[in-house]
Amino acid sequence: MNVYFDNAATTRPFDEVIEQLSKFLLDIYGNPSSLHRLGVEAERSLKEAKEAIAKKLGSNADEIYFTSGGTEANNLALIGCAFAYQKRGKRIVSTPVEHPSVISTLEYLERNGFEIQYVPVDAEGNVDFDQFEKLVDQNTILVSVMLVNNETGHIFDVKKLSEIAKKKNPNVIVHTDAVQAFMKEKTNVKELNVDLMSISGHKIHALKGIGALYIRKGINIQPIIFGGQQQKGIRPGTENMPGIFSFAKAIEVYEKLKASEPDKLRNIKQRFIEGLSAVDSVVINSPLDKTSDAILNVSFLGIKSEVFLHTLEGYGIFASSGSACSSKGRTYNKVLHSMGKGREIAESSIRFSFSYLNQIEEVDYTLECIEKALRFLRKIKK
């Protein structure tokens, strides 16, 4: 049996996406900027996809801008906003547990004269609200806090953080990386009171290479790519229509699956946690509450993550040691380290992440294999 529990890294495209993609490629291959019929058909599909995403975000379709993925969306949000509003101030407030595409971008901005302040998080991943309020001042132009952490699944109270920030400085712009949250958690931009939101298609069974950035009307964003006037010049370049189609189709299929089995991901995670309770020297870093149902981070003490991952792979089980964007060359989980977890916990953590294509039987098989793998690895360590 093969079990794919690495859905936070990427997902297998839905069958419906694959089946209908070839027809889309053959029938709607025009450039949406072209004035002829094929171009008009492509433009219609582009608008329909924006409307599908806008409906899920509670925004207007003209506030959605397609990108090559979550990384570009985060780069465009942070760099584009920082340079557009640098005359107001130079301070940006974030957290040390953001995705590498945010952390690396903030480091770039710091090298270019911006002041980056990171608000600490506690052992559960919660932001220190008092410290956050102190860091937001009149020189702060941007706050960036993710909605769901990609490694632990912790759900941040972005709504409260936005309220605190905007009360302290009404001109502050709030961005949230919702790549791991989209379609799984509430992502209504008005309810969350955010100005910018990044999402990605391949986390919800669309193709890789497609993402989107919500930009609230009235917010200025300087482009970081230059070319034509596609998407109002904010993100120029011929649109990735196959990716855009797959994004809209994946939303449609995902909604149906979620409606038919609304508690599926929670049941899978709960079964996993219950099974692990009988295993020795295990630390659950993603409890059932206050974290995404789609992510379970576990530390198997005494066993290095990489060793355990390869052992599980021998049983046909595929998981990860954290973000696929930063896993190579890394010796321990920096997110857990930032949460104050000990080095042993950080070095032995495994992330299991679930989708609606997973089945409860896969959990039982994985638990059996985990016990076998642990017995083997701990035996040879003695």
| Active site amino acids | 325
Residues 259, 252 contacting (CB under 8 angstroms): no
Among candidates 215, 144, 143, 150, which has minimal Cα distance to 182? 150
CA separation for the pair 80, 267 (Å, rounded): 40
Name the phi and psi angles at 3, rounded to 5: -125, 120
Query: How many whole angstroms separate alpha carbon 246 and alpha carbon 251?
Result: 9
Percent helix / strand / coil, the chain, rounded to 5 = 45, 15, 40
Find the distance separating the first CA and the last CA of the chain, reported in whole Å: 30
Q: Dihedral sign for Cα 228, 229, 232, 237, please.
A: negative
Q: How far is CA 142 from CA 78, 163, 316, 323, 359, in A?
A: 8, 13, 44, 24, 41
- Give yes or no for a contact between 355 and 203, defined as CB atoms under 8 angstroms apart: no
Q: Which of 254, 259, 278, 264 is closest to 362 using CA atoms?
A: 264
Longest Cα separation, the chain: 72
Beta partners for 349? 299
Helix (H, G, I), strand (E, B) or coil at 295: strand
Q: DSSP characters for 54-105?
A: HHHHTS-GGGEEEESSHHHHHHHHHHHHHHHSTTT--EEEE-TTS-HHHHHH
Spatial neighbors of 96 by CB under 8 A, at least 6 apart, are 103, 118, 120, 121, 338
Beta strands 173-177; 140-144: pairing state: parallel
Q: How far apart are CA 231 and CA 237, in angstroms?
A: 8
Residue 268: C-alpha distances to residues 89, 185, 278 (Å): 46, 16, 17
Give how far the C-alpha of residue 294 lies from the chain's centroid of Cα atoms, to the nearest Å: 11
